Chains A and B, each alone.
Chain A
Amino acid sequence: MSKPKFAMYWAASCGGCEIAVLNIHEKILDVDANFDVVFWPVAMDAKYKDVEAMEDGSILLTLFNGGIRNDENEHIAHLLRKKSKILVAFGSCACEGCIPGLANFSPVKEIFDTAFSTISTDNPDNIRPQTHYAMPEGEITIPTLYPVLRTLDQVVDVDYYMPGCPPESHQIAAVIDLVIQVLQGKAELPPKGATIGAGNSTVCDECKRKRNEKTIKAFGRIQLIHADPELCLLEQGIPCNGPATRSGCDARCPSAGAQCIGCYGPAEGVVDYGARLIAAFASVIDSDKPEEIDRILDGLVDPAGQFYRFNLAGSLLKAAKPAWKSNGG
């Protein structure tokens, strides 16, 4: 009997998700034992046309990481949707935009200026990439950038979400185990649309730091504060995103002395991640006077970046207005 087919793809992402999958160590042999890996650009040679030639729905499981930033990303998202039975938005970029989604703060022109015309770039003729270029051998093309980055489910229907930047390897291993058990008839798949490979509560819930009532008179950046190693970081004025972030990482960052930056995305039931954090942070500020509140808030140097570091593309507003407005020039 032929094995069920497996695919993995990267769109606008950093490649960390692929590393996380390889980091499941010998479990990767289970993947090989149970699946026929048909498409995985980082690990094997396969062409888009090979995927195009496959029968619709013939790939059992596709892990799709990366956001949709250009027309190539979008094309492959549609293609893999068509060819896959189970499409998983894998990792923060596919789920909610992640770091590449931070570019949604800026219009495309600014992104290009920064990439090709700032002082750190040696580009005296100010050459910019062109999507089509005629060479003696024929025309060559590169993908066209869109005004904003979109999450996978803003482009195609998604079956499951697996958050994390990247997803923790033990969570990936558990999900692969589950799928194998499903294949053997020993388990059932979770309902469509479920978040898999993560917890249902918040990072605070898994965090071991001691908590008292939070009253904050000043926010400060972690490198400027001698933080008490036992005490909740937010209580010490260090902006920690634990209260809004989904559990699943065993509160790794706060255990290691760093604040949670929110890579597991919104906790169960949170509609807008940033809005939830605004509510949480504003609640613990210890002042009733507008001027003092403003002074305390000055300690949060980049609130939108703090609250939407991983989630801008997936948030209610999705992008800053200047980025939207670059649509169509």
Chain B
Amino acid sequence: MTEETKSFEPTIIGFTCNWCSYRAADMAGTARMKYAPNVRLIRLMCSGRLDPTFVFKAFASGADAVLISGCHPGDCHYISQNYKALRRFHLMKRVLTQLGIEPGRLKLLWASAAEGAIFASEITKFVEEVRALGPLNWPQPGEQVSTPIMEEVTA
């Protein structure tokens, strides 16, 4: 890890489902478990509600990584929607990689309402992994490209 990445605090957007993973996060909180403060959680009703647009929007708006979490396979409160999330996750990863976003910046985590400790330790682990990848620094609207770059392309 370089000096730069050591001091870098990643911004991570985390999507949780209402029934399991949000409760896991809640439990971690009420039990005063310590975990890295880098994740901004957004609660959805179910991981199946996770529109891939949310993930792309998060990256485009400056997130360094995105966490998707939901109930364990078989436990989704809407029967099988977390499998849909699983398939979307796999496909998104492929597309993001082609766009130059490392697959390690997107994580899928299953956590039951009782797994506060697992949720907390997985987040801490994820933050370290993203820290090692460094900032994503996706260009923001406005910081556009009007500066020509002919140096490297002319003979």
Binding site for B on A (CB under 8 A): 71, 74, 105, 108-109, 112, 126-131, 144-148, 150, 154, 271-272, 274-276, 278-279, 281-283, 285, 287-288, 290, 293-294, 297, 300, 302-305, 307, 315-324, 326-329
Contact = CB atoms under 8 A, between A and B. Distances in A.
A148 B67 CA distance: 29
Nearest to A143: B148
A282 B95 contact: no
B100 A329 contact: no
Contacts of A297: 90-91, 94
A321 B100 contact: yes
15 contacts: A108-B149, A128-B155, A145-B150, A146-B148, A154-B144, A272-B53, A274-B56, A275-B51, A276-B53, A282-B87, A294-B90, A304-B99, A320-B99, A324-B139, A328-B147
A126 B155 CA distance: 8
A315 B151 CA distance: 28
Contact of B154 (A129, A278, A321): A129
Contacts, number: 138
Contact of B145 (A146, A275, A288, A315): A146
A21 B80 CA distance: 49
Contacts of A272: 52-53, 56-57
Contacts of B145: 146-148, 150, 327
B153 interface: yes
Contacts of B86: 288, 290, 293
Given A146-B148, A279-B52, A317-B56, 8 more contacts: A109-B152, A293-B90, A304-B98, A316-B53, A317-B59, A320-B99, A324-B138, A328-B149
Contacts of A324: 100, 138-139
A224 to B, nearest CB: 20
A329 B151 contact: yes
Nearest to B97: A304
A326 B152 CA distance: 9
Given A275-B56, A329-B152, A320 B87 contact: no
B55 interface: yes
A316 B101 CA distance: 13
**Ordered nearest first, which 7 A-B pairs have the shortest CB separation?**
A321-B100, A304-B98, A128-B155, A282-B87, A275-B52, A144-B148, A275-B53
B88 A316 contact: no
Interface in B38-62: 51-53, 55-57, 59-60
A59 to B, nearest CB: 25
Contacts of B73: 288
A279 B92 CA distance: 9
A95 B86 CA distance: 33
Interface string B65-105: 00000000100000010011011101110110011110000
B7 interface: no
B155 A278 contact: no
B98 to A, nearest CB: 4
A116 B122 CA distance: 49
Contacts of A131: 148, 150, 154
A320 B88 CA distance: 20
Given A271-B53, A329-B149, A317 B60 contact: yes
A322 B100 contact: yes
A285 B149 contact: no
A72 to B, nearest CB: 11
Contacts of B144: 150, 154
Nearest to A113: B153
Contacts of B91: 278, 281-282, 297, 300, 303
Most central of B59, B147, B151 by chain A CB within 10 Å:
B147
B14 to A, nearest CB: 18
A307 B152 CA distance: 31
A326 B145 CA distance: 10
B58 to A, nearest CB: 9
A323 B154 CA distance: 17
A293 B84 CA distance: 11
Contacts of A154: 144
Given A146-B146, A148-B145, A283 B84 contact: yes
Contact of A278 (B52, B80, B150): B52
